Each structure stands twice: as C-alpha cells, then as structure tokens.
Structure 1
C-alpha cells in the first residue's frame, strides 16, 4: 500500500471534507501550502470537466515541486468519480488508468495525493486498480432510516457531551427528527442550542422545539404526519411549502405511498397480535413465527427506531385495515394518473388526493 495516497469518500460531505482537510494540513502545514500544495477542483458534472481535472492531476505528479521540494496534490470534491456515465467515458477511463498506473508505480517520498469525493463507482476499473494501494476511508450515512437514525443520535449526544451538556431522551429524539442525519447540520444545530442554553447545561424538549430548525427531511415527515393524522389544513400548508422548496408532486406522492404502506402493515401487525401498544411505546410479541416472517423481509420493522415505529403504530391505530388499504389504493391510482394523464396539473391532483385522504370516515346509517 502506498503511504502517501489518501482517499476519502462518502455521502457524509462534512466528515469527508473535514478528514481530507486534516490530512492535507498534517502533511503540508499552512506555512508550506502556498508553495507545496496544489488543489484541483473535482466538482465536475460533465465529461470534459472531469477530463480536465484528471489531466491536471496526472500532470501535477509528472512535474517537480517548486525548488524540487514537497508536492501535495488535493483532488477535492471529485463528484465525477461516482457518476457512472462519466466513469464509462473512454477518455475518462484512459486518463484514470494513467493515474492508477502512476500510483501503482509509486510516488516519490516527497509526493502526496489526497482525494475527497462524495462517492466512487465501485464497478469502475479505476476503483479496482487503486482500492488496495491507497489509504481508503468511507464516511456514509446509511440509506435506511432505522440504520441512519441511531448513528446520528449517537453523534449528536457525543457532540453535546463534548461541549459539557446533557440532553433528555425525548429531546434528543426530537432533535434528530428536526436536524436530520447529516453531520454538518447536526453540528450547526448543536452549536445553536449550546449558545442558547449558556450556563444551563441540560437541554430539554422545549429547548429543541424553540431553537432547532427543521431540515427538508423533517418537513417531509411533518407532511406525512399531518396526512396520517387527517390534518388537512396543515397538510396542504406543508405541501405548498415543499413545492416552494423545489420538491415535486411526483416525489411527494411516493412519500405518501410509503406512509400508507407502513400504516397498513403496522395496523395488520396489531390486528394479528404481533404488536401492541404500551402507553406511547410499542411492544413486539416474542414468537418464532414472527422471526421467520421478518427474516425474509428486506426491512425488519422491529429494527426501526422505537420513536418512528411508535409513531406509525399510534397513527395506524384509529384506522381499520380496510380503510388503510382503500387509502393506499387511492394513492397508487392517483400516482398512475399523474404519469399517464397530462391534462391536469400534478399539484392539483395531489391537493385533491389530500382532501380525500384527510376526510373523516363516513358514518354508517
């Protein structure tokens, strides 16, 4: 493995950037950077931009440093490395092959390469060529909510503790609901709360409610919560806010489909006795049949964070299975009409859907 090639990637942009910057500063102190550091912008979204960045990187190691001294190259924010289309381009593949060959041959002791990227296309020949010869660190936020949430919660509690503060359990759950899972956003919101609390070292629920801004993800949760709880006015208000924030009606109806899929299955689990409410929390039955059933599923609901799972169960409880199944069919039908019919604006179709979903159940005569 090359001792002077460092690769940092992942969708946690803050940790990727922070660790790359630390490594650059470690091998090239600030007072040396004006002469010894070359930063190459890798935030390319087009093939010709990616080619220019790679070509510049290759050329950097084929020229000696100023006065023959240390040469540190930082290929920063190399977004093209995870773009399958760009990575399959013949010229890009050729230049990356040249770079990987140079790295395999070995850089001189006073040459260093640091790469930071939001990800890398792991089927590419470049990744296969370098993965065993570079120091590779990956910082990813898990895609599934039940996997990402505990990681973010642990990170937030650790940051509060580092600042000398404690946070109540309910307050911590609400904090992550609002701040989301991205490290940079969590750090920003921790800093705000610390400044607000001052000498009072205990952060409570009302502090989070007052000071923590809702992320786009949290606003989307507020949207689906309003639908599940049949709060039509709030659902439409948040829907229009999300449209203003450049969300699409198609993207939002997919979230509504996921909502009713979860509500329906939680209601079914309650009906057959696999799940019961214990106050505001839920309790799963201990049964081999349940273990076998969930083992075959791609997302075991028992692994979902208790706060989110309890919310689904509480929201599903007032409905019947039949009502939730009918609502799910209505959402799917509307989604299909959005795709197939072009005469009615998607936004109008979705607002009509919200009115139907949030309508109170009809009383039987």
Structure 2
C-alpha cells in the first residue's frame, strides 16, 4: 500500500444508480486482493431517522476498529449513505454530530490496515463534510456536477459517456428521442444503451434514430408516444405503421388524439411567438434567454399568473430543451390549425364509428400528411 494513499475512498453523486455501480466496481477491485471473506464487511448506510444514523455510524466504527483474525488488511464498505443529503434527517443537529464522529473515524484510519469505501447519494455539496472529503479522500463525483435530475440535459452526458465506453455514438436526433421515450431514469437509460449497442451489426458504431424508434419502448409517455412522434415528423408511412401497432396492442383512439392535440398546442404557441419575432431559435433549439424573458410577469407570463402545474396549455411550464426538440421540425401555422380541426373531426367520428377507430385515425393521418407525401 503506498504511504501517500488517502485514508478512505469516497464516491458520491446525485444519482444512486451511478454511485452504487462505481462503488461496486471499486469494492470488487479491492476485495480481489483480500482473500479472507471474513475480512470484508458491507454496512448499510441508509437512514430514515437520527436513531438509524447513530446505529450506522456506531456499527461502522466497530467494524473499522475490529482487528483481522490473521492480521491481514480489512475492507469496510459503508454503502448507500443517505444522511449526507439535504433532507430532514440530514439537517438534524444529532445527525450533524454523528457526521463529525464519522469524520474523526475516517481521519484516523490507516489505509494499510483497513480499506474504507463510502458511497453516498444524494449529497449536499454545501456541507463542510463534503468539502473535507474532496480534500482528504480518494474522491469521485459520479454523473458530473449537475444535481438537477429533472432536466433532460443533465442526463445527456451520462448516456453519451456510457455509449463511448461501449464504442458507439448517437446519430442525429437519436439521443433526444431516447431520452423522450425512456424518461429521466438513469438505470433504464443505461440498460437501453447496452441493448441498442448489442443490436448493431458488426462494424456498425452509430445508434440511429431509426434504431430507437423500432427497438426502444415508450416508457416515459405511454404507448401512444410512438404515433405522436411519427405524426409530427411528417413521415406518412411511419405514422400509419405506428397507429397500426397502437391498435394491434389493444390501444384506444382517445388517448392518442389527446396526445396529438397536446403536442399540437405547444407547437401552435411556439409558431405564434416565432412568427411574431418574440421567440428566437438558436443552433441548439429555443433561445433560452428570449424564452425566459417572454415567461416573465411583464410579458406573456402574466396570462398564466397563479398556474404552477405543468400543462401543454402553458408553453412556459415546459422545459426549453424539450421544446427545442419539438420545434426542430416546426410546421406552418396553417398546418397546425388544420391539424387541430382534423383532431376534432376524428374525435367526433370515433363516437359515430366506435368499432372503426383505427380506420378513422388512418383517414385523419392521410388527410393531414398525405398532402405533403
């Protein structure tokens, strides 16, 4: 063991899956050098209250101070620590006192005798303990520096990095489509990247939009997402195929029409603002500064005062990254208004022809997209 080695390993981040995966890799690496299984111990650091924090720290202290039966090096993993987060348990005075005790244990550790690994997610990076770990530990922050797990752009680097480890990249519009279909779930996104990479033929290294459209399930927005995405791509045959799959799997017309209307509402608002010159489109989608200005109470935002829920009736309740992806192919105002009228006609038609819902939507699609085919 090098004399300059840090007294412990600290792995943290906003996403528990990434932190646990990195922690498991480091644990296995060290465990391979410690053949005695009784010299390896994993302690659960999940705590829902102060009493559980105290119990975890005390057990950790006892384990670190335990001497190996044969004098060999020991390995202790304090796993899935949750009391370092910005939550009620993490902010409690008694918890902060236990964190100080934890710091004393770590500072006094001899890594030549005991290898200590700690994994924590999420974590409050404003706390002094976090900053102390940065300086004194073998430190790893997983998932980048962003802690906002509600924004797609926070997940894009994670997915891209995973693809790079597999020797593949994403083609045009492929990554946004993957995020839209799977949603903001790291575990599912990474598993999907592995699936798509394995699907590629020998010599292929690019995951294309077509691969995702064909192979990736519509987890984030339900079974009608595929048809909505296809419709607004302007691809007639792809839309007809998606509608057929929707009904073949037992789908109903009403949620599909609702999804189409919702997307159309957002595009109508974007088109109106762009046409008026109020909203700018940049190289990477919607210009965020102009969007935020329009959302202010001094501008269009005043019309939505008091509205806090996310809805497609309010453009400003949506994420700019998501809107930029929608607006990458922005129909004309005439086409959008025609769409709304066709959706209404289709809804009235399925009431009269309830047993022919698929045919009604196929006819609607041909009227909307057939003119441009």
TM-score normalised to the size of structure 2?
Answer: 0.60
Q: Is the 8 A contact 2:174 2:208 kept in 1?
A: yes
Matches within 5 A, 1:83-122: 83-107=86-110, 109-122=112-125
Q: Is the 8 A contact 1:7 1:137 kept in 2?
A: yes
Aligned to 2:16: 13
Aligned to 1:176: 179
Aligned to 1:304: 321
Q: Give the count of matched residue pairs.
A: 291
Matches within 5 A, 1:234-249: 236=255
Aligned to 1:268: 273
Whether 2:99 is the aligned partner of 1:81: answer: no
1:302 and 1:94 map into 2 onto residues whose CA distance is 40
Whether 2:46 is the aligned partner of 1:43: answer: yes
Which 10-residue stretch deviates more, 94-103 or 120-129? Answer: 120-129
From 142, 151, 165, give the equivalent of 1:145.
151
2:45 and 2:58 map into 1 onto residues whose CA distance is 11
Describe the SS at the equivalent of 2:123: coil
Per-residue CA deviations over 1:190-243 (Å, capped at 9, x if unaligned) read: 332344445473654443222212333x549949x79x98xxx76747999xxx
Residues 309 and 158 (structure 1), Cα distance of their counterparts in 2 relative to 1, 3 Å cut = same
From 203, 213, 219, give the equivalent of 1:215.
219
Task: Could you tell me which runs of 5 or more consecutive residues in structure 1 were left unpaired when the two chains were aligned.
Answer: 241-255, 285-289, 324-365
Task: Could you tell me which runs of 5 or more consecutive residues in structure 2 were left unpaired when the two chains were aligned.
Answer: 233-251, 297-317, 341-373
Shift in Å at residue 96 of structure 1? 1.9
Per-residue CA deviations over 1:301-333 (Å, capped at 9, x if unaligned) read: 99837961525955988679xx9xxxxxxxxxx
Q: Is the 8 A contact 2:45 2:79 kept in 1?
A: yes
1:99 and 1:206 map into 2 onto residues whose CA distance is 51
Per-residue CA deviations over 1:31-89 (Å, capped at 9, x if unaligned) read: 62513211001122233222211111122222222322212211111122215211233
Whether 2:37 is the aligned partner of 1:34: answer: yes
Whether 2:62 is the aligned partner of 1:59: answer: yes
Pairwise CA RMSD of aligned residues?
Answer: 4.8
Q: Is the 8 A contact 2:288 2:320 kept in 1?
A: no
Q: Is the 8 A contact 2:53 2:98 kept in 1?
A: no
1:7 and 1:93 map into 2 onto residues whose CA distance is 18
2:34 and 2:195 map into 1 onto residues whose CA distance is 33
Shift in Å at residue 116 of structure 1? 0.8
Residues 238 and 264 (structure 1), Cα distance of their counterparts in 2 relative to 1, 3 Å cut = closer
TM-score normalised to the size of structure 1?
Answer: 0.61
Residues 305 and 35 (structure 1), Cα distance of their counterparts in 2 relative to 1, 3 Å cut = same
From 139, 155, 158, give the equivalent of 2:164.
158
